[in-house]
Amino acid sequence: MTFYIIRRLLLLPLTLLGISILVFLMIGLLSPYQRLATFINSPERLKGADIDKLVEFYGLNDPLPLQYGRWLKNIFQGNLGWSYVGKEPVYDALVERFPYTLELALFSIFPILFLGINLGVISAVNHNRPLDHGLRIFSVVGWSFPDFVFGLFILMIFYSVLGWFPPGNLSLWAEEVVKSSAFRSFTGMTTIDALLNGRLDIFWDAFLHLIGPVLTLTYVQFAFILRITRSSMLEVLQKDYVRTARAKGLDERVVINKHARRNALIPVATVSGQTIIGLLAGAVIVETIFNRTGIGSFMSLAAQQLDYASIMGGTLFFGLILVLGNLIVDISYAFIDPRVRLE
């Protein structure tokens, strides 16, 4: 497996190069004046400047291969252009907002996987019984619910009516504390930093602001994991080695957890991996509804305002997460099922 990981890591730059070519071809559809935003990393460069001279300076009328080389050089130097939405360089905007998306993903991943896998196993074990029918209905409703509908429902009930789970990242008083010099930022994730600073009040406030979006993501996403787990378990439970284990008189829990469940997790790992990648890439709708300043809401706003530099920089960032995420999912197969050999 070590050689497989090394080979995949060596192919990683080529994959990212391919992604960068596709992104640049998208940029090529824009006019030279629109592409200029992907080279300028400060609005000061545009004040009193002749736009035509800047276009000529960056060679935006040159053949595409030459333009691609200059653009790629800027990318390697961390210059992704200026974000009109974030009022700062695109690289800084992505780095600043990613911890909020990562924090939301971490709080959502564990309930999604725990509920999806365990309830899927329970549903399959109780096939065609009332519990199975109830869980299937529950999952179908959850998977059929659009994110924005369920998110607005959570916001209306738990904030507008009950006043429990406010939107945003933090309350105003907590945000002032976090931005003060007395509060040290270690990870950028408010809940973790609050614990490291010994501020349980800040942690609790940040946690309350996370409950609404986490509930929305969990119900919509775990329902799909539940359905995949149930289908995979039903298939595995019909295998000969499961029948043999039962014929030997093994306890049903041992049969389910040791022989059936682990072998049913291969397709679940694939779907779960893609779900996690999607969460890390930014839950656009959920972040927008709950007014969280993560990468998802940032990219949504950039698309609405045609902020080309932010869109292209975010696309490269998402491509990196997708490639690394797929590598981790492939490696996880060998740990889930010993029969899988990665060579």
Write out pLDDT tens, residues 44-71: 666 656 677 777 777 777 888 888 888 8
Measured CA to CA, the distance from residue 247 to residue 263 in angstroms comes to 19
pTM summary value: 0.82
Could you tell me which residues come within 8 angstroms of residue 50 by beta carbon, excluding any fewer than 6 positions away?
none
Question: Does residue 32 contact residue 79 with C-beta atoms inside 8 Å?
Answer: no
* Average of per-residue pLDDT across 219-247: 83
- Amino acid residing at 327: L
Write out pLDDT tens, residues 130-173: 888 898 888 888 777 777 888 888 888 888 888 888 888 888 88
pLDDT at 200: 93
pLDDT at 313: 85
| H or E segment to which residue 53 belongs | helix 51-57
Does residue 272 register a pLDDT over 90?
no
pLDDT-based confidence at residue 19 (cuts at 50, 70, 90): confident
Write out pLDDT tens, residues 280-315: 776 788 888 888 888 888 888 888 887 888 888 888
**Cα–Cα distance list, 173 to 182, 196, 202 (Å):** 14, 19, 9
